[in-house]
Amino acid sequence: MTSKETSIGTRALSWVLVLSLVFGAALAPLLARADVASANVASVTAVLSDNDVNDATSVTVAFAVGAAGALTANVHDIIITFPTGTVMPTSIGKNSVIVTVGSTSAIPSVDPTVSGRTITLKAAVAAANSATVSVLISGSAGIINGPKASTSTTYAAVKVSTSVETTPVTSAAYNSNNGLDHVVTHSGLAAGKRATAVTTTVEGFAAATTATAKVTTSSVTYSLGSTTVGSDGTGTISWTASPPQLAAGSNTVSITDGIGGTKTAAYTLKPTLTLTPSSGVVGRAVAVSGTDWIAAETIAITNGITMGGAVAGPTAAITASAAKTIAGTITVPSTLNLGVVSVSATGSTSGAVTATFEVTGAPITLSPATAVPGTKITVSGSGFTASGTIAASAVTFGGSAWNSAAVSLTSSGDFLTTLTLTSALAGTAGTYEVVVADSTGRKGTSSFVVPGRTLTLSPTSSFRGTTVTATGAGYSKSSTVTIAYAGTAVATTTSTSGGDIAVTFTSPSAASYGINTVTATDGNSLAKTAKHTIPSQGITLSAASGSVGGSLTVSGTNYPLFTNSSAFTLGGSSVGTTGNTDSTGVFSKAVTVPAVSTGPQIVVVTIDGRTASANFTVTAATTTVATAISGLVDSSGASVVSSVWYRDNSGQVWSSYAEGAPADLTSLVKGRPYMFVLSAAPASAWVSPTGSQTLGGGVNLIVY
Return d(Cα 423, Cα 431) in angstroms, integer. Answer: 15
Domain boundary among 359, 392, 417: 359
Which of 640, 651, 631 is closest to 677 using CA atoms?
640
Structural domain count, the chain: 8
pTM of the model: 0.48
Regarding whether 644 and 556 lie in a shared domain, the answer is no
606 found inside a domain: yes
Residues 539/602, Cβ–Cβ less than 8 Å: no
Mean pLDDT by 10 residues, the chain (704 residues): 38 37 39 48 88 80 95 96 88 96 95 96 96 95 71 63 95 55 69 90 86 92 94 89 92 89 89 95 92 95 92 94 95 87 95 93 92 96 91 96 96 95 94 93 92 97 91 97 97 97 94 94 96 93 91 93 94 94 92 90 94 93 84 91 86 78 78 89 86 90 87
Q: CA 628 → CA 346, 625, 638, 693, distances in Å?
A: 119, 5, 15, 13
176 found inside a domain: no
Regarding whether 160 and 61 lie in a shared domain, the answer is yes
Can you give the three-state secondary structure of 208-244, one letter per residue?
A: CCEEEEEEEECCEEEEEEEEECCCCCCEEEEEEECCC
Residues 31/54, Cβ–Cβ less than 8 Å: no
Q: Residue 129 maps to which CATH number?
A: 2.60.40
**Structure confidence at residue 212 (pLDDT):** 94
261 found inside a domain: yes
Regarding whether 584 and 570 lie in a shared domain, the answer is yes
Which of 47, 41, 85, 258 is closest to 173 using CA atoms?
47
369 found inside a domain: yes
Beta strand 351-359 with 279-280 is parallel
Q: Residue 251 maps to which CATH number?
A: 2.60.40.230
Per residue in 615-674, pLDDT (tens digit) is 999 988 778 888 888 889 999 999 999 999 988 877 678 888 886 665 788 888 877 898
Regarding whether 209 and 165 lie in a shared domain, the answer is no
Domain boundary among 565, 596, 619: 619
Q: Residue 522 maps to which CATH number?
A: 2.60.40.1930
Beta strand 610-619 with 545-547 is parallel
Regarding whether 318 and 291 lie in a shared domain, the answer is yes
Residues 192/241, Cβ–Cβ less than 8 Å: yes
Regarding whether 156 and 73 lie in a shared domain, the answer is yes
208 found inside a domain: yes
389 found inside a domain: yes
**Structure confidence at residue 435 (pLDDT):** 93
Regarding whether 136 and 118 lie in a shared domain, the answer is yes
Return d(Cα 455, Cα 519) in angstroms, integer. Answer: 8
Regarding whether 294 and 354 lie in a shared domain, the answer is yes
37 found inside a domain: no
Domain boundary among 136, 170, 204: 170
Query: Domain residues for 410?
Result: 364-450
Q: Which residues pair with 396 in a beta bridge?
A: 401, 435
Regarding whether 301 and 199 lie in a shared domain, the answer is no
Q: Which residues pair with 62 in a beta bridge?
A: 45, 134
**Structure confidence at residue 147 (pLDDT):** 59
Regarding whether 85 and 24 lie in a shared domain, the answer is no
326 found inside a domain: yes
Residue 70 DSSP SS3: coil
Regarding whether 286 and 265 lie in a shared domain, the answer is no
Regarding whether 138 and 57 lie in a shared domain, the answer is yes
